[in-house]
Amino acid sequence: MEKESMSKELEKALERFKAKSDEVPQGYFDQFELELMHKIQSENHAPKQANIISLFAKQKKYLVAASLLFAVATGYLFYNQLNEHTISTNEMVQIESLPDEVIEAYVDNNELVAEVEWNSAIESAGANISLKNN
């Protein structure tokens, strides 16, 4: 029953829509030509967008290659300067040329490290010996 009433309402709504869409408003075609001319004139007076010109469109692949080459060359120069700097700081120093105070300070500062290294070496050697004896 509800479906029948819904279908009748839909039919009525469809008929009203057709009636409204088939009707043309009064004076529509009288004003149509005038409105069309106003639209055309307003489009003619509207500012036009300028064309976009790409300066390097044809040379794009060469620009990419040049930028990659520049990046590699710059990286090489920085790497080369870094290596030259590290080589110059790692020069060999003769122990005889160092003052006694510098040698004593080095030994004092590194004594604990040397002792730990010896202790760990002795412990690992002792562990190896006890494993071999069993």
Residue ranges for the chain with pLDDT beneath 70: 1-3, 21-25, 46, 83-91, 112-119, 126-134
Which of 75, 53, 52, 55 minimizes the C-alpha distance to 63? 55
pLDDT at 100: 83
pLDDT at 116: 63
pLDDT at 123: 74
pTM of the predicted structure, to 2 decimals = 0.27
pLDDT at 54: 75
pLDDT at 41: 82
Which of 78, 81, 98 minimizes the C-alpha distance to 89? 81
CA 29 to chain centre: 58
CA–CA gap between residue 68 and residue 75 (Å, rounded): 11
CA–CA gap between residue 76 and residue 82 (Å, rounded): 10
